[in-house]
């Protein structure tokens, strides 16, 4: 299995964690964004994660632009739509994992910031970015008294460390 395929598989597994979490929540909990959440609840974090994946996987020949995001979308307001979007992205991850090394250009909404990258590099970034937002989602749910699965929002290296500490 190529490096890219391995990284895409790791991202797929991470997205499946998010899908299972969404399936375990009721619609109100998934979409709650007021009060303590400062308009940034679970659904908004999930939409943000999925926007980043969509930007990398667009394969439209345009530079990847992480500032290109869509707010107040159906997948931000409906659990089933979010799950469906995860499934589409997962299919695209599988396809991306089967492609040859692809050079990419990445930009931000800052003038003259076109940078060279690769699909492997951006997929690694997506792993880290997703875990980061899962950690925020875990905190948002735990403040509401909702338990998240063990290891959700915890970096893989931290899970390995905890495993090593348990053995010693």
Average pLDDT, the chain: 88
Whether the pLDDT of residue 99 is over 80: the answer is: no
The residue-averaged pLDDT of 21-31 equals 96
DSSP 78: -
Reported as a pLDDT band with limits 50, 70 and 90, residue 164 is confident
Query: Please, which residues bridge with residue 103 across strands?
Result: 118
For residues 149 and 21, give the distance between their C-alpha atoms in angstroms, rounded to a whole number. Answer: 8
The predicted model gives 66-81 an average pLDDT of 87
Structural domains of the chain sorted by starting position, each given as residue range(s) with its CATH number in brackets: 3-167 (1.20.120)
**CB under 8 Å to 162, separation ≥6 — which residues?**
154
- What is the arithmetic mean of pLDDT over 36-51? 88
pLDDT band at 100 (very low <50, low <70, confident <90, very high): low
Asked whether the predicted pLDDT for residue 23 surpasses 70, the reply is: yes
Sequence-ordered alpha helix ranges (H) in the chain: 3-24, 27-31, 42-57, 74-77, 79-97, 119-143, 156-167
Tokens, residue 81: 């739509």
Minimum mean pLDDT range among 8-12, 52-56, 105-109, 130-134: 105-109
Whether the per-residue pLDDT at 24 is higher than 90: the answer is yes
């Amino acid at each position: 299995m190529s490096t890219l395929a391995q990284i895409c598989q790791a991202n797929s597994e991470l997205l499946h964690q998010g899908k299972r979490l969404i399936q375990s929540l009721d619609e109100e909990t998934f979409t709650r964004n007021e009060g303590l959440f400062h308009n940034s609840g679970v659904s908004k974090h999930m939409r943000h994660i999925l926007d980043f994946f969509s930007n990398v996987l667009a394969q439209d020949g345009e530079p990847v632009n992480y500032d290109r995001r869509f707010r107040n979308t159906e997948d931000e307001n409906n659990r089933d739509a979010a799950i469906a979007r995860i499934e589409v992205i997962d299919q695209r991850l599988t396809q991306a994992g089967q492609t040859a090394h692809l050079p990419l250009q990445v930009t931000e909404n800052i003038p003259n910031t076109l940078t060279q990258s690769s699909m492997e590099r951006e997929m690694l970034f997506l792993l880290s970015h997703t875990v980061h937002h899962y950690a925020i989602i875990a905190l948002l749910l735990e403040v509401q008294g909702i338990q998240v699965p063990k290891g959700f929002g915890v970096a893989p290296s931290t899970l390995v460390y905890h495993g090593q500490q348990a053995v010693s």
